[in-house]
Amino acid sequence: MAFDLGTPVNTALLLYILYSIQRIIFPSNSVPQSVPNEFKNGYTWMPKSHPPTLLYQTYTPKTLEPFNGKEGKRILLAIKGVVYDVTAGRNFYGPEGMYANFAGRDASRGMAKQSFDEEMLTPIDQPLDKLEDLTAEEIENMKGWMEHFSSKYIVCGKLVENDAV
Amino acid sequence: MALSDYLVTDDLTIILALVAAGLFLLHNLYKPQALVHPILLGRQSDVARVRNPSESAVYRNYGTGMLGRFPLRPTKDQQVLLDLVKPDADAPRTLWSTKITNPQLRERAANFGAGLVRVAGLVPQEFNVLLLLNDGIEFIISDLALASHSVPSFTLSSLSLLSSVLESHPPSLIITEAEFLPHLLELIYDSNESEHHSIVVVGDVSASQYRQVQNVKIVHWDDIERQGASLDKPILSTPEPSDVFTVAFYETPSGGYDGVQLTHENITAGVAATRALVPPSSALSPLDTIVSTHSLSTPYGRAIAYTALFEGTGFATVDSTKLIKPEGAASLTGLKDLRTSGSYHISSPTILFVHPHHLSSLTDTVLEEARKSSWLLYNFAWRHKLAGILEGYITKQSLWDRLVFDGARVKVMGKGAGTVRAVMVSGAPLEAQALTPSRIALSVPVINVHSHPLAAGPIFASHALDLQTFPPAASSSPSASAADAYAFTYLAPVGPPSVNVEVKLTGVDDAAVEGGADPVGALHVRGPSVGRPLSAEEEAAEEDQRGWRITGERAKVAPNGTFKVSVAGKA
């Protein structure tokens, strides 16, 4: 070069200036090969997965029972044949919660009678609780709980007899 | 030599350091900011939390939300069709070639309605009227008059449906153009109908030779309007928003035809959705002029026209929307077609509602002109504009526009180069690769819209400021048909559902979706702007399942909530 810079510092600065000028006059038009999954990594991006959506399924007392929150599973609970996903309320219905009895079970009688005792639950291999001996007031109470659950949690299935599937 | 000998600095170093610092700031901080933050483009639809087996979840626009209510009308005062012509907005604007104010338009509609009752013997709620008109002010006046008298009107998306419709749904009155009168009379004569018809003719009849047919009364449009103006206007009962005001017949991909019943609520909801296509910061106003290539005989074209009427903008259509063309006239496409809107007296267009072939023709011509002017500058301009788009930024006022593209646009679009501020594309599949050149050539928001003959108003509409460009993705599902595979790989995404529409897909592979794949299935829509097809079966009993309409198209959802639609029967 005719222009002698003489020092490495000047050479380095000159190279940086030439590089910057090149980037400004010839901007990059490269498109990344794969679409990034984070918006920090590019303007054109796609989230990795769809927003979570539950599949509406038909459960029996036997298939509902595993969903009691143990080992990180979802927590489901049924009232009058409607199955709710109460995983968001793990504090209440999870393994250490106050109402853990209801997890994975038909909680209709307990909701009606406002009790969390074991005797409110029917064993899994027996037919579903017909709820015939409830008073009108208890049925009102149960319906109130169903409304509360419908607004707070997700309706994700229905509960039928063991042999109905 | 010691290290300090290498690091000797002098005056030149200071100069170079300042220049380097300046360039560093310029390069890193002067980056253009995206028009919309990419985080918003990652969640464009709101998704239901539960889905039924073999169906996808229900998707709605993110702005509306799963719990929100659908907008039914632009404002609460617009209950029926005539309300869309606001009575208190009296600034004149040009519709096609007529300069008219809203009160004058309402008056003409009232005159025409009164004239129809007296001259043609129109009986509200017993008559049906077939509108065989090209787009023009007569169409609007007839439509408004019939809607206020609670008389359903029929429209056809193409003339090939005419004989079938005359047979299956014989109208009591037909309003048509003068040049079509001979053909129409032949048709009625041939079909040997015993129905008494009346025909109202727009335009000059004396020139055409027609054979008089018995039982058919021919009246002139101008006569009716003149006579109606001299009559006392009766007090009309206001129709209910849920009354059907029109039935729009369209061809189905399987070769038959179907009709969709539109109520007043459908059209007001369609107008509300069409208004929402432009971003709120640049909403429609009376200063705008809309040019549409969608015929008024289709529900979507009708919604665009009534949006223009509601907002007080100028409005015109192009030649290809004509239902009745002169004998032997070639049908125009692309830029030639768009230029036919110049034959009307509207001011320079600001918003274009066009088909993809218009957009591609316009883009190609602009880029060709730009390339011809200066090859080197064009390449620089393209490179810089593309770099901006990859960052999410596009503007019409950049240096490269001034140097290269403005000149090309003026040569191609004339005064429209400076006034066009948004382009909505719908009516046919749009390829993803065609979007970026269009964005660079026009440098305005190009919005991909998906419409369907069943809905007044758009079904899907992409975000106005969304400039994301995805590479063609390999279709992973092996069972997709060839048309689906092509559509889902190469077509541009049409965006999330419109503000007052919810969609779901049926026939979805549950195992694949649970495993994280994109749901693919038949598209069903529901919403206040979706009309009821004549072929619809009995409504389902439950509230949840009522109102879903089958579109006959297939669609795929991406994780960011945008859809890609594969139109049935077309590649």
Tokens of B569: 């029967």
Asked whether the beta carbons of residue B518 and residue A50 sit closer than 8 angstroms, the reply is: yes
Within a domain: A1: no
Within a domain: A116: yes
pLDDT, tens digit (0-9, with 9 covering 90-100), for B168-179: 888 888 999 888
Mean pLDDT, rounded, for B376-383? 93
Within a domain: A110: yes
Asked whether the beta carbons of residue B53 and residue A57 sit closer than 8 angstroms, the reply is: yes
CATH of the domain at A138: 3.10.120.10
pLDDT band at B5 (very low <50, low <70, confident <90, very high): low
Q: Which residues contact B439 (CB under 8 A, 6 or more apart)?
A: B389, B394, B446, B467
pLDDT band at B390 (very low <50, low <70, confident <90, very high): very high
Within a domain: A105: yes
The angle formed by the CA atoms of residues B183, B189 and B193, to the nearest 5 degrees, is 130
Give A39's contacts in chain B (Cβ within 8 Å). 37-39, 41-42
CA distances for B459 relative to A84, B153, B497, B500, B541, angstroms: 32, 24, 6, 8, 25
pLDDT band at B21 (very low <50, low <70, confident <90, very high): very high
Question: For residue A2, what pLDDT is reported?
Answer: 38
Within a domain: A122: yes
Question: For residue B437, what pLDDT is reported?
Answer: 94
Q: Please tell me what DSSP assigns to residue B148.
A: H
Phi and psi torsions of B249, nearest 5°: -90, 140
Which structural domain, as residue segments, surrounds residue A114?
A: 57-159
Q: What's the CA gap between B117 and B171, in Å, rounded?
A: 16
Give B472's contacts in chain A (Cβ within 8 Å). none
pLDDT, tens digit (0-9, with 9 covering 90-100), for B85-95: 999 888 999 99
Question: For residue B6, what pLDDT is reported?
Answer: 63
Give A10's contacts in chain B (Cβ within 8 Å). 10, 12-13, 16
SS3 B69: coil
Strands B93-95 and B98-100: antiparallel
Give A14's contacts in chain B (Cβ within 8 Å). 16
Q: What's the CA gap between B190 and B477, in Å, rounded?
A: 52
Within a domain: A10: no
Distance (Å) from the alpha carbon of B471 to chain A's nearest alpha carbon = 8
pLDDT, tens digit (0-9, with 9 covering 90-100), for A47-99: 999 999 999 999 988 898 888 888 888 899 899 889 999 988 888 888 888 88
A16, A48, A56 ranked by CB distance to B559: nearest: A48
pLDDT, tens digit (0-9, with 9 covering 90-100), for B410-443: 999 988 888 999 999 999 999 999 999 999 999 9
DSSP string, chain A: --S---SHHHHHHHHHHHHHHHHHHS------SS--SSGGG-SS---SSPPP-EEPEEE-HHHHTT-BSGGG--BEEEETTEEEE-GGGHHHHSTTSTTGGGTTSB-HHHHHHT---GGGSPPTTSPPP--TT--HHHHHHHHHHHHHHHHHSEEEEEE--TT--
Tokens of B67: 């719990």
Is the pLDDT confidence value at B407 over 70?
A: yes
Residue A14 near chain B (CB below 8 Å): yes
Asked whether the beta carbons of residue A26 and residue B468 sit closer than 8 angstroms, the reply is: no
Q: What's the CA gap between B62 and B499, in Å, rounded?
A: 8
Question: For residue B475, what pLDDT is reported?
Answer: 60
Q: Please tell me what DSSP assigns to residue B291.
A: E
Is the pLDDT confidence value at B570 over 60?
A: no
Q: What's the CA gap between B500 and B530, in Å, rounded?
A: 9
**Highest mean pLDDT (candidates B26-35, B224-233, B386-395):** B386-395
Is the pLDDT confidence value at B109 over 50?
A: yes
pLDDT, tens digit (0-9, with 9 covering 90-100), for B36-73: 999 999 999 999 999 999 999 999 999 999 989 999 99
- Chain A residue with Cα closest to B393: A43
Question: For residue B421, what pLDDT is reported?
Answer: 93
Q: Please tell me what DSSP assigns to residue B300.
A: H
- Chain A residue with Cα closest to B508: A55
B50, B386, B560 ranked by CB distance to A46: nearest: B560
Within a domain: A45: no
Domains of chain B are 45-65+254-321+332-566 (3.40.50.12780), 100-239 (3.40.50.980)
Mean pLDDT, rounded, for A100-111? 87
DSSP string, B473-505: PPP--TTS-HHHHHHHHHBPP-BSBPTT-EEEE
Residue B514 near chain A (CB below 8 Å): yes
Its pTM surpasses 0.95: no
Asked whether the beta carbons of residue B390 and residue A20 sit closer than 8 angstroms, the reply is: no
- Give this complex's ipTM: 0.86
Residue A31 near chain B (CB below 8 Å): yes
Phi and psi torsions of A89, nearest 5°: -100, 45
Give A29's contacts in chain B (Cβ within 8 Å). 383, 386-387, 390
Work out how many domains chain A is built from and give that number: 1
Exposed / middle / buried, residue A132 (Cβ in 10 Å: 0-12, 13-18, 19+): exposed
Tokens of A69: 């929150």
A28, A39, A52 ranked by CB distance to B42: nearest: A39
Q: Please tell me what DSSP assigns to residue B280.
A: G
Residue A154 near chain B (CB below 8 Å): yes
Exposed / middle / buried, residue B234 (Cβ in 10 Å: 0-12, 13-18, 19+): exposed
Is the pLDDT confidence value at B571 over 50?
A: no
Question: For residue A1, what pLDDT is reported?
Answer: 40
pLDDT, tens digit (0-9, with 9 covering 90-100), for B152-201: 999 999 998 998 888 888 888 899 988 888 888 888 877 766 566 788 88
Average confidence score pLDDT of chain A: 86
Asked whether the beta carbons of residue A8 and residue B559 sit closer than 8 angstroms, the reply is: no
Within a domain: A43: no
